[in-house]
Amino acid sequence: MNTDPMVPDLFRVQKVRKETLDTFTLELSPKQKKFRFEPGQFNMLYVSGAGEIPISISGNPNQPESLIHTTRAVGSVTNAMRKLKAGDYLGVRGPFGTKWPVDKAMGDDVVIITGGIGLAPLRPAVYDILAKRGRYGNVVLLYGARTPEDILYPKEIMGWRSRFDMDVHVTVDRAAGSWHSNVGVVTKLIPKAPFDPQNTTAFICGPEVMIRFTTQELKKRGLSDDKIYVSMERNMKCAIGFCGHCQLGPYFVCKDGPVFRYDEIKRLLEIREV
Amino acid sequence: MTHAVLERPDLKSLFNILQKAGYTTIAPTVRDNVITYENVTDQSELPIGMTDDQKNGSYRLKKRKDKSVFGFVVGPQSWKKFLYPARLKLWEAHRNGKSFSIAKPENEEKKLAFIGVRPCEMSAISIQDKVFLKSTFVDSAYSSRREQLFTVIVNCTEPGGTCFCTSMDTGPRAKKDYDLALTEVVKKDQHYFLVEIGSDQGKEIANKLPLKEASEEQVSEADKRLNEAARKMGKALKTDGVKDLLYENAENPHWEKVAERCMTCANCTMVCPTCFCSTMEDSTDLSGEIAERWRTWDSCFTMDFSYVHGGSIRNSSSARYRQWLTHKLGSWQDQFGTSGCVGCGRCITWCPVGIDITEEIKTLQECDSRKSKSN
Ligand SMILES: Cc1cc2nc3c(=O)[nH]c(=O)nc-3n(C[C@H](O)[C@H](O)[C@H](O)COP(=O)(O)OP(=O)(O)OC[C@H]3O[C@@H](n4cnc5c(N)ncnc54)[C@H](O)[C@@H]3O)c2cc1C
Ligand code: SF4
Ligand code: SF4
Ligand code: FES
């Protein structure tokens, strides 16, 4: 292992899987056999010559033999990453950041609310909760995608949905005739979701507007701010608290986040362009 | 000997002794009409008999009437450029087939001695120590330079037109963290430096200097000048409650007014001795065989700084100025337990439109939105 947190380790691409039109999953094999991480943490991924970006770990924390990242191609680095093939190499620094409070949530109902690519950073939390299923109350996943074709991990979602011990509700913004499920924004699923607001922990990952509306709906159900956790996104160049890019008020999202308890950052989310 | 003096002609030996001890001596000198810090091997290269006239948005070098060696305050560049270089190669990758190997350049092992560090600048170094050495991670390039550093303070007997170290409690006399501290006294018949020892390695060097016992009069003269200096600050900033002031006034319309003047040129962040933000630059050679990653200084005033896919978080210049000021005087306290401003005045002097951090705070204090709410 490198001792300098700014110098990446090399990982070999084992498998590339196309998830949706613009989203793909890389399975990487660590040289050191195991890559331990907590659900919610991220890595800095370096693509030779293109640059380095933060990407959450989307694999199973209880299977550290392979490192899984799901990425949506949106710009220069992510598009260069999309061109990688099995056998290519990638630079990895991490894991960094705070985790989803899977331990603190034990005994509570857990409601996971996310949209689009936001499911990737939450999948490790789902795996972890399902691995210790008996220690939680109801487990609910509310997921929104643009169209049915944009739904991430559809087979896995089907598998979760068919379980008796998990409630999964998926909605899309727009759909053609063959879609027989919910249409509309994900927040619409909150009022009827089966959880006890007095004993629920919520995990949210999505754009800031989505976070705003989701927290409002949860509040209407009676959830208190300190039971809501959100993952924040900021520009990140170092991931270790030096470059300053990820600042959100007094916080460095790279090390004080990305997962925050909502009451800690509520004030900041209300300020324009903070 | 309780107090010691170094006579003006013996200043030469300070350089010699530090060089003999293996240090590269860095000190102020005149370059391109400003005083900067460079590799200075002999005292004759110091800005002897020079001073700097500083105002909002203006800096001018002038000849002094006397032969003071340190009769100026601070120039546009700070010592930051040595401990935290503006460009630093982080690593180099070499391609071999589909894989590549990554190697870090050797840390430069030069022992540096800074001669002529102002008290506010010593505080700035201590602040950057908190950022790079005392938070979650350690910056190895910074620590290898910092650990071997020797600092010679020159206390300020003549504050500049944009100085406000008294307000920030960082000067005009250094209190801690240094190795040696000098106070220069120039009189008709005397020219000497009162010497104070701040550390064991300071003592080691001091023992080799041709020091003389200071007379009571020499000590009190230096004291008197430093006390007077504290009363002659060019600017003042009322720091009481300034963090809450900034936090509570995030939506104050005053930010728009500053934005009308601010050119978001980032000068203020480049000259500031505590600003630590950086970005990364990637390059590859033409063959694609070698890739490099460099760290370079960056500024919260640029549009790219807060870019995430789809646009910048801080699009408007008012949001960027607010970020800078709120960080300096507010959130810095939450992050590092200290203010991010030492009152050196550089951002005032080097702002092309003369925006003044002390004035902006004063205006915010006057138009504090909490006041209008309670009315
Ligand atoms: C903690 C964290 C976890 C993330 N996890 C995932 C994930 O699991 N899957 C995924 O697809 N995306 C994730 N993202 C977003 C991802 O980092 C950006 O989509 C990516 O940086 C875009 O890079 P680009 O060069 O392709 O885009 P461009 O638009 O070309 O961006 C140029 C540069 O701006 C910066 N940048 C742009 N967008 C972002 C952004 N959203 N966040 C941070 N820096 C940005 C990067 O330095 C990037 O190289 C995460 C972001 C953060 C902060
Ligand atoms: S904010 Fe201005 S006065 Fe304060 S330390 Fe930085 S440059 Fe000096
Ligand atoms: S405050 Fe002055 S120096 Fe700073 S960015 Fe604005 S114009 Fe430039
Ligand atoms: S990403 Fe550099 S400080 Fe957080």
Tens digits of residue pLDDT in B122-161:
999 999 999 999 999 999 999 999 999 999 999 999 999 9
Atom number, ligand 3, closest to the C-alpha of residue B350: 3
DSSP-assigned letter for residue B76 = S
Asked whether residue A67 is domain-assigned, the answer is: yes
Query: Residue B191: enclosing H or E segment and its boundaries?
Result: strand B191-197
| pLDDT on residue B310 | 87
> Nearest Cβ partner of B102 from A75, A91, A242?
A91
Judged by CB atoms closer than 8 Å, whether chains meet at B280 and A51 is answered as yes
A114 and A221 share one domain: yes
| pLDDT on residue B374 | 54
| pLDDT on residue B130 | 97
Asked whether residue A44 is domain-assigned, the answer is: yes
> Residue A160 — pLDDT band, cuts 50, 70, 90?
very high
Q: Are B111 and B24 in contact (CB under 8 A)?
A: yes
| pLDDT on residue B118 | 98
| ipTM for this model | 0.94
Q: Does the pLDDT of residue A5 top 50, yes or no?
A: yes
What is the rounded CA–CA span in Å between residue A89 and residue B181?
A: 53
B250 touching chain A per CB within 8 A: yes
A151 and A201 share one domain: yes
| pLDDT on residue A94 | 96
Buried b (16+ CB within 10 A) or exposed e, B283-299: eeeeeeeebbbbbebbb
Residue-wise pLDDT for A38-51, tens only, equals 999 999 999 988 99
| pLDDT on residue B285 | 85
What is the rounded CA–CA span in Å between residue B141 and residue B289?
A: 26
Is the CB–ligand 1 distance for residue A55 below 6 Å?
yes
Q: Does the pLDDT of residue A62 top 60, yes or no?
A: yes
CATH of the domain at A55: 2.40.30.10
| pLDDT on residue B284 | 85
CA of B329 to the centre of ligand 2 (A): 10
Q: What are φ and ψ of residue A20, in 5° steps?
A: -135, -175
A76 and A172 share one domain: no
| pLDDT on residue A1 | 42
Asked whether residue A198 is domain-assigned, the answer is: yes
> Nearest Cβ partner of A241 from B136, B279, B307?
B136
- Whole-model pTM: value is 0.95
Q: Does the pLDDT of residue B303 top 50, yes or no?
A: yes
Of A50, A65, A96, at which residue does a domain stop?
A96
Asked whether residue A238 is domain-assigned, the answer is: no
Q: Does the pLDDT of residue B29 top 90, yes or no?
A: yes
State both tokens at B198.
Answer: 């701040």
B80 touching chain A per CB within 8 A: no
User: To the nearest 10°, the Cα dihedral for B252, B255, B260, B265?
Assistant: -170
What is the rounded CA–CA span in Å between residue A206 and residue A229?
A: 12
Asked whether residue A260 is domain-assigned, the answer is: no
Query: Residue B4: enclosing H or E segment and its boundaries?
Result: strand B4-7
Of A67, A96, A125, at which residue does a domain stop?
A96
Is the CB–ligand 1 distance for residue A74 below 6 Å?
yes
Asked whether residue A1 is domain-assigned, the answer is: no
Per the structure, the complete domain to which residue A179 belongs is given by: 109-231
What is the rounded CA–CA span in Å between residue A78 and residue A65?
A: 24
CATH of the domain at A192: 3.40.50.80
Q: Are B322 and B101 in contact (CB under 8 A)?
A: no
A44 and A125 share one domain: no
| pLDDT on residue B373 | 63
State both tokens at B36.
Answer: 């900067």
Q: Does the pLDDT of residue A233 top 90, yes or no?
A: yes
* Pocket-forming residues, ligand 4, beta carbon under 6 Å: A 236-239, 241-246, 252, 254
Q: What is the mean pLDDT of residues A63-92?
A: 96
Of residues B49, B53, B7, the one with CA closest to residue B34: B53
> Residue B375 — pLDDT band, cuts 50, 70, 90?
very low
> Residue B100 — pLDDT band, cuts 50, 70, 90?
confident
Asked whether residue A78 is domain-assigned, the answer is: yes
A205 and A158 share one domain: yes
B227 touching chain A per CB within 8 A: no
Question: C-alpha A266: how far from its chain's center?
Answer: 20
Judged by CB atoms closer than 8 Å, whether chains meet at B331 and A247 is answered as yes
Quickly list DSSP for A197-237: GGGEEEEEES-HHHHHHHHHHHHHHT--GGGEEEE-----S
Q: Are B95 and B102 in contact (CB under 8 A)?
A: no
| pLDDT on residue A178 | 85
Q: What is the mean pLDDT of residues B102-124?
A: 92
Look at strands A51-56 and B311-312 and give their pairing. Answer: unpaired
Judged by CB atoms closer than 8 Å, whether chains meet at A245 and B298 is answered as yes
Q: Are A57 and A42 in contact (CB under 8 A)?
A: yes
A49 and A122 share one domain: no
Q: What is the mean pLDDT of residues A123-141?
A: 98
Is the CB–ligand 2 distance for residue B345 below 6 Å?
yes
What is the rounded CA–CA span in Å between residue A261 and residue A223?
A: 13
What is the rounded CA–CA span in Å between residue A181 and residue B165?
A: 66
Q: Which residues of B touch A234 (CB under 8 A)?
A: 306, 308, 313
Q: Which residues of B touch A7 (CB under 8 A)?
A: 90-91, 102, 104
Look at strands A23-29 and A9-18 and give their pairing. Answer: antiparallel
A170 and A210 share one domain: yes
A83 and A185 share one domain: no
Of A69, A96, A123, at which residue does a domain stop?
A96
Share of chain B above pLDDT 90, in %: 90
Is the CB–ligand 2 distance for residue B344 below 6 Å?
yes
Q: Does the pLDDT of residue A8 top 60, yes or no?
A: yes
What domain count does chain A have?
A: 2
Q: Are B126 and B197 in contact (CB under 8 A)?
A: no
| pLDDT on residue B346 | 98
Q: Are A221 and A197 in contact (CB under 8 A)?
A: yes
Compute the mean pLDDT over every residue in chain B, rounded to the nearest whole number: 95
CA of B128 to the centre of ligand 4 (A): 15
The size of the A-B interface in CB pairs under 8 A is 112
User: To the nearest 10°, the Cα dihedral for B153, B154, B157, B162?
Assistant: -80
Is the CB–ligand 2 distance for residue B234 below 6 Å?
no
What are the start-end ranges of the H helices in chain B? Answer: 11-20, 80-83, 119-132, 140-147, 165-168, 200-208, 216-231, 242-248, 254-261, 267-271, 317-326, 332-336, 346-349, 357-366, 369-374
| pLDDT on residue A3 | 74
| pLDDT on residue B372 | 72
Q: What is the mean pLDDT of residues A115-142?
A: 98
What is the rounded CA–CA span in Å between residue B114 and residue B25?
A: 6
Other C-beta atoms within 10 Å of A106: how many?
15
What is the rounded CA–CA span in Å between residue B5 and residue B221?
A: 12
The phi-psi region of residue A142 (left if phi > 0; otherwise alpha if psi is between -120 and 50; otherwise beta) is beta
State both tokens at B173.
Answer: 């006399």
B335 touching chain A per CB within 8 A: yes
A89 and A113 share one domain: no
Q: Does the pLDDT of residue A257 top 90, yes or no?
A: yes
Is the CB–ligand 3 distance for residue B17 below 6 Å?
no
Q: Does the pLDDT of residue B355 top 70, yes or no?
A: yes
Q: Does the pLDDT of residue B164 top 50, yes or no?
A: yes
Asked whether residue A113 is domain-assigned, the answer is: yes
Q: Does the pLDDT of residue B288 top 90, yes or no?
A: no
Q: Does the pLDDT of residue A141 top 70, yes or no?
A: yes
Residue-wise pLDDT for A168-201, tens only, equals 999 999 988 788 889 999 999 999 999 999 999 9
